[in-house]
Amino acid sequence: MKTYLISLFCLLSGYAIAQDVKITHGPYLQKVGEHEATVVWTTDNYAVSWVELAPAGNESFYFKERPQYYQTKDGNRVVTKLHKITIQGLEPGTEYRYRIFSKAVMVEQLMYGHIASSNVFKQQPLRFTTLDSGKPEISFVVFNDIHGRIDDLKALSNNVKYGTTDLVIFNGDMIDDIQDEQQFFSAFMDESVKLFASEIPVFYARGNHETRGFFSQYFSDYFPSNSGKLYYAFQHGPVHFLVLDGGEDKPDSDIEYFGLAQFDAYRSEQQEWLKKELQSESFRTAPYKVVIIHIPPEDSDWHGALDLYKKFLPLLNNAGITVMFCGHLHRYLYIEPKAGLHDFPILINDANTLLEVNATQSEMSVKRKDVSGKKLNELTYHSVKK
Ligand SMILES: [Fe+2]
């Protein structure tokens, strides 16, 4: 009633109070492919948002009016606090510059307020590069089991050359549980934005801890993928990535899940998707086939791992997988191929080490490094002859 009276006063007096808006988290890149990219950020108030795009280079952003991209639904521009703007029609392996804007909307009166943006006056535009399956060499890094330890995320990042890193993979359990949006961002995502996520695409394999807490049901809203699911595939350079979601580790009926878990059925759904994905031309012809999954389907007698073992390994066996990257155990373990079970190695990364991967046409090297930057292991794989 109070808002209504103030609004009525404003309308009658011809005086409008402009609604304020601030960008609270992000922007970060998601769903970057060869022809598209999605920019995600949040605002403290309802807003309609857009991304302005310019080619790479030194030409001023103000050289001409730049195309604006909006989030739309059924023909309307979306008024929201979680902004996900997909830019389509991009060229593979091409760098672009971008800026973001959010214009406040007073939803009760459908009036516009202030505009918030990336720092368009003082900061250089942000940049990203689309994926390119024809790129001869790529580099990427893998984090897992950070569990909100921002200091370790920073320390591990200290030795990463983000300028030459094509993409970052979060292989699960970046957080303990997800209670609300603020806690979710402050646990690791705000720091990731500061370090790399505004300019380097992040690909997320959900861990079992990201399934926990009230806000976990909204997790996929913040990390859109090219399949619309938390399991998906993509290719960059010579590497084809299969990103799988292991779900929870205990039986669905466990007291810890409060009767809300249904991961057996979810893993069966993925099994069907995986059967089709393994038949795809891009998977079959890729020089390296890398599986990313948080829970190792090995070395455990817990139900989640056993269900993965039963549903995924028979499909992946004989599919030419180069290596599978896992986390979850909080210790390093390298499991060599086992005849009849999995004909590829499983690399389980520790909770406080990082994987740095470089793949060329002839060789893929994986370096495992600790928080001081010291190399602990180095593994080399060779491409599948086509
Ligand atoms: Fe885990």
Helices 263-277 & 303-311, crossing angle to 10 degrees?
Answer: 30
Q: Say how many Å lie between the CA of residue 141 and the centre of ligand 1.
A: 18
Q: pLDDT tens digits for 134-155?
A: 999 999 999 999 999 999 999 9
The CA-atom distances, in angstroms, between 355 and each of 90, 150, 159, 352, 365 are 30, 17, 11, 10, 10
| pLDDT score at 137 | 98
Structure tokens at 163: 């300028």
Q: How many residues make up the chain in this entry? A: 386
Q: Say how many Å lie between the CA of residue 325 and the centre of ligand 1.
A: 13
The CA-atom distances, in angstroms, between 184 and each of 190, 200, 268, 294 are 9, 20, 28, 19
Name, in order, each residue with C-beta under 8 angstroms of 93's C-beta and a sequence gap of 6 or more. Answer: 34, 129, 130, 131, 132, 134, 135
Structure tokens at 214: 């009230």
Name, in order, each residue with C-beta under 8 angstroms of 122's C-beta and a sequence gap of 6 or more. Answer: none
Q: Say how many Å lie between the CA of residue 266 and the centre of ligand 1.
A: 17
| pLDDT score at 261 | 74
**In the structure, what pLDDT confidence band is assigned to residue 292 with cuts at 50, 70 and 90?**
very high
Domains of the chain, first to last = 2-129 (2.60.40.10), 138-382 (3.60.21.10)
Contact 299, 308 (CB under 8 A): no
Q: Say how many Å lie between the CA of residue 42 and the centre of ligand 1.
A: 27
The pocket of ion ligand 1, defined by CB under 5 A, consists of 173, 207-208, 328
Q: Say how many Å lie between the CA of residue 327 and the centre of ligand 1.
A: 7
**What is the per-residue DSSP string for 198-247?**
TTS-EEE---SGGG-SGGGGGHHHHS--TTSSS-EEEEETTEEEEE----
Per-residue pLDDT, averaged over 213-241, amounts to: 96
**Lookup result for tokens 């580790």:** 249
**In the structure, what pLDDT confidence band is assigned to residue 273 with cuts at 50, 70 and 90?**
very high
- CA pair distance 39, 199, nearest whole angstrom: 10
Of 128, 104, 102, nearest to 117 by C-alpha is 102
| pLDDT score at 7 | 44
Three-state secondary structure call for residue 311: helix
| pLDDT score at 15 | 46
Structure tokens at 186: 């402050």
Beta-bridged to residue 46, according to DSSP, are none
Q: pLDDT tens digits for 65-119?
A: 999 999 998 888 999 999 999 999 999 999 999 999 999 988 766 677 777 877 7
Q: How many CB atoms lie within 10 A of CB 112?
A: 16
| pLDDT score at 226 | 96
- CA pair distance 118, 98, nearest whole angstrom: 9
Of 21, 382, 30, nearest to 192 by C-alpha is 30
Q: Say how many Å lie between the CA of residue 309 and the centre of ligand 1.
A: 16
| pLDDT score at 5 | 41
**Please, what is the average pLDDT of the chain?**
91
Of 243, 256, 156, nearest to 206 by C-alpha is 243
149 exposure class (CB count in 10 Å sphere: 0-12, 13-18, 19+) = middle
Structure tokens at 308: 């993965």
Q: Say how many Å lie between the CA of residue 362 and the centre of ligand 1.
A: 33
Q: Say how many Å lie between the CA of residue 244 and the centre of ligand 1.
A: 14
Q: Say how many Å lie between the CA of residue 317 and the centre of ligand 1.
A: 24
Q: Say how many Å lie between the CA of residue 173 and the centre of ligand 1.
A: 5
**In the structure, what pLDDT confidence band is assigned to residue 18 with cuts at 50, 70 and 90?**
low
Q: Say how many Å lie between the CA of residue 148 and the centre of ligand 1.
A: 13
Q: Say how many Å lie between the CA of residue 174 and the centre of ligand 1.
A: 9
Residues of the chain with pLDDT > 70, as a percent, come to 92
More confident residue, 10 or 325: 325
Q: Say how many Å lie between the CA of residue 296 and the centre of ligand 1.
A: 9
**In the structure, what pLDDT confidence band is assigned to residue 11 with cuts at 50, 70 and 90?**
very low
- CA pair distance 270, 229, nearest whole angstrom: 10
